[in-house]
């Protein structure tokens, strides 16, 4: 079974590899189709070349007719320097043999009876060029090619045969293949992003569902436990009061320890009950500045407080105190015996909201524990219950706010609480209408 931590890496890596293979396949097919079109162009050029020059052996008129049928615009015989010697139709005076030299040398070695075809983007024509293997004879102004014979006048012996014909259809096919390749690649990328988004949404849904199931099970177990624990606690409290009256002073130290632990268990059960009950409570207008200033005085370490003016929120007083007391306590304890340099700042945000930042320079949140920090009963403290942050977020969420914990630049942690401002800031103590 794939672990929760490894699953995203394995799934996303598999998706990336699969889609890269598909993109490679599209690129391969596109390249293969382009090569097929190039071979097709070469074949058409060779066929047109053979048809025209065979017709030219009979007569010029037949050659012109064949040129029209094969869509050939012109043919020419050129010297080894690239200068035109004889021509039929529209061909240039000179041809740049250096552009074809490497291809011609290759073809001449492998198959001397074929030439090389290329598409000229400037003229939108297909040019075909090959070495001449025929003797050329001028007779009454007409071009005649024969297998043997003598030239009537000495001329620069022609070395290259050339023809060109319309390449618009070839160019359109190349553009179409390229467009299909690009569109296919974009579709694959869009499909990859869609599948990735679906996977992430599904994972978030599964995590939310698992958390909800866990909370439901936790709620049922917590209700049972708190109910069962409160009865023994009541009995222990009564017995402890009797022991305080009957035991000699020598046992006072032990009774104080029992009393402290008893209070700790009672506080824990009350917190669990708060977590399970309606977290909204009885919202009233709370002076946020006054609340934070009061709480800051309860700690023995200095805490800096910044606020541009007085702010008010609509919150249950006890729950508001519980939220910010818990966050301040975590910040103060974040550095152990050292100075955590805790700072509290209130900033007005957009859409009538307040951002309360409680910042420290403590040990920070380990990356492995960042996702579990709000889980009920998860704690890294020896004497912690792990319920404080869960309850705090529940209280803040009930008032339409958010609670986030993240790493602070330079080290430490930032606890950011976002809450809506009080609707009637001038009427202190007015109850909020749910």
| pLDDT given for residue 194 in this prediction | 92
In 272-317, the DSSP E strands lie at 284-287, 303-307, 312-315
Q: Are residues 186 and 158 in the same domain?
A: no
pLDDT-derived band at 372 (thresholds 50, 70, 90) equals low
Residue at a domain's end among 276, 293, 325: 276
Q: Are residues 31 and 118 in the same domain?
A: yes
Tokens of 163: 């023809």
| pLDDT given for residue 220 in this prediction | 64
pLDDT-derived band at 177 (thresholds 50, 70, 90) equals very high
pLDDT-derived band at 218 (thresholds 50, 70, 90) equals low
> Does residue 241 fall inside a structural domain?
yes
CA pair distance 228, 190, nearest whole angstrom: 56
* DSSP designation for 136: E
> Does residue 98 fall inside a structural domain?
yes
Enumerate residues 6+ apart whose C-beta is below 8 A from 254.
none
User: Nearest 5°: CA angle at 233, between 262 and 278?
Assistant: 95
| pLDDT given for residue 356 in this prediction | 93
Q: Are residues 130 and 232 in the same domain?
A: no
Range of the domain at 208: 177-276
> Does residue 92 fall inside a structural domain?
yes
In terms of Cβ atoms closer than 10 Å to its own Cβ (0-12, 13-18, 19+), residue 280 is: middle
Q: Does pLDDT of 159 surpass 80?
A: no
pLDDT-derived band at 345 (thresholds 50, 70, 90) equals very high
Q: Are residues 416 and 295 in the same domain?
A: yes
pTM over 0.85: no
No. of H helices and E strands in the chain?
8, 14
pLDDT tens, position by position, 263-279: 877 877 776 666 566 66
Q: Are residues 402 and 311 in the same domain?
A: yes
139 or 381: which carries more pLDDT confidence? 381
* DSSP designation for 337: T
296 or 233: which carries more pLDDT confidence? 296
Q: Are residues 17 and 124 in the same domain?
A: yes
| pLDDT given for residue 103 in this prediction | 55
CA pair distance 291, 309, nearest whole angstrom: 14
CA pair distance 195, 11, nearest whole angstrom: 11
CA pair distance 200, 210, nearest whole angstrom: 15
Q: Are residues 323 and 201 in the same domain?
A: no
| pLDDT given for residue 240 in this prediction | 82
Q: Rounded mean pLDDT of 201-226?
A: 72
Tokens of 2: 């794939």
Tokens of 310: 């007085």
CA pair distance 46, 276, nearest whole angstrom: 86
> Does residue 427 fall inside a structural domain?
no
Q: Rounded mean pLDDT of 170-192?
A: 91
Tokens of 43: 């074949």
Residue at a domain's end among 238, 258, 276: 276
**What rounded mean pLDDT belongs to the chain?**
78
332 or 364: which carries more pLDDT confidence? 332
Q: Out of 1-15, 164-178, 240-254, 417-431, which region has the weakest mean confidence (pLDDT)?
A: 417-431
> Does residue 2 fall inside a structural domain?
no
Q: Are residues 112 and 214 in the same domain?
A: no
Which of 193, 186, 170 has its CA nearest to residue 42? Answer: 170
413 or 116: which carries more pLDDT confidence? 413
- Across the strands, what pairs with 138? 143
> Does residue 425 fall inside a structural domain?
no
| pLDDT given for residue 282 in this prediction | 82
Residue at a domain's end among 276, 305, 330: 276
Tokens of 327: 């966050």
- Top-ranked range on mean pLDDT: pick from 203-207, 277-281, 423-427: 203-207
| pLDDT given for residue 138 in this prediction | 38
Q: Rounded mean pLDDT of 89-102?
A: 76
Compute the Cα dihedral for 196, 198, 202, 204 and give only its sign.
positive
| pLDDT given for residue 119 in this prediction | 83
Q: Rounded mean pLDDT of 65-83?
A: 84
> Does residue 135 fall inside a structural domain?
yes
Q: Out of 93-107, 126-140, 164-178, which region has the weakest mean confidence (pLDDT)?
A: 126-140
> Does residue 434 fall inside a structural domain?
no
102 or 42: which carries more pLDDT confidence? 42
In terms of Cβ atoms closer than 10 Å to its own Cβ (0-12, 13-18, 19+), residue 163 is: buried
Q: Are residues 295 and 272 in the same domain?
A: no
The structural domain count of the chain equals 3
| pLDDT given for residue 271 in this prediction | 65
User: Which long-range CB contacts under 8 A does 53-62 form with residues at least 24 apart?
Assistant: 53/134, 53/145, 53/161, 56/88, 56/143, 56/144, 56/145, 57/144, 57/145, 57/146, 59/142, 60/88, 60/142, 60/143
Q: Rounded mean pLDDT of 5-32?
A: 88
């Amino acid at each position: 079974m794939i672990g929760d931590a490894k699953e995203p890496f394995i799934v996303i890596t598999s998706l990336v590899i699969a889609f890269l293979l598909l993109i490679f396949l599209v690129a391969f097919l596109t390249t293969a189709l382009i090569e097929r079109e190039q071979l097709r162009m070469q074949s058409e050029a060779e066929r047109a070349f053979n048809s025209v020059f065979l017709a030219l052996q009979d007569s010029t008129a037949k050659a012109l007719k064949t040129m029209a049928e094969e869509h050939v615009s012109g043919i020419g015989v050129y010297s080894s320097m690239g200068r035109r010697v004889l021509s039929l139709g529209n061909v240039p005076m000179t041809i740049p043999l250096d552009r074809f030299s490497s291809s011609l040398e290759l073809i001449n070695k492998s198959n001397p009876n074929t030439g090389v075809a290329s598409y000229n983007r400037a003229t939108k024509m297909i040019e075909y060029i090959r070495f001449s293997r025929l003797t050329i004879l001028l007779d009454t102004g007409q071009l005649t090619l024969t297998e043997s014979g003598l030239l009537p006048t000495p001329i620069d012996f022609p070395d290259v045969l050339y023809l060109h014909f319309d390449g618009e259809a070839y160019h359109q096919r190349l553009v179409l293949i390229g467009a299909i390749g690009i569109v296919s690649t974009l579709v694959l990328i869009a499909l990859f992003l869609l599948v990735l988004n679906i996977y992430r949404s599904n994972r978030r849904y599964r995590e939310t569902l698992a958390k909800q199931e866990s909370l439901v099970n936790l709620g049922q177990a917590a209700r049972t436990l708190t109910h069962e624990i409160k009865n023994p606690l009541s009995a222990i409290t009564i017995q402890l009061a009797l022991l305080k009256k009957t035991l000699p002073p020598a046992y006072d130290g032990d009774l104080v320890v029992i009393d402290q632990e008893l209070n700790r268990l009672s506080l824990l059960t009350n917190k669990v009950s708060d977590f399970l009950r309606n977290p909204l409570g009885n919202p009233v207008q709370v002076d946020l500045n006054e609340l934070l200033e009061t709480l800051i005085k309860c700690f023995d370490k200095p805490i800096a407080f910044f606020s541009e003016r007085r702010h008010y929120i609509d919150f249950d007083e006890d729950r508001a105190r519980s939220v910010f007391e818990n966050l301040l306590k975590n910040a103060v304890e974040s550095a152990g015996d050292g100075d955590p340099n805790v700072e509290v700042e209130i900033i007005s945000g957009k859409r009538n909201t307040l951002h309360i930042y409680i910042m420290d320079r403590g040990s920070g949140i380990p990356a492995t524990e960042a996702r579990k920090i709000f889980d009920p009963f998860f704690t890294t403290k020896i004497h912690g219950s792990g319920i404080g942050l869960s309850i705090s977020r529940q209280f803040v969420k009930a008032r339409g706010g958010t609670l986030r914990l993240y790493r602070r630049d330079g080290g430490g942690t930032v606890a950011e609480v976002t809450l809506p401002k009080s609707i009637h800031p001038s009427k202190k103590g007015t109850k909020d209408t749910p």
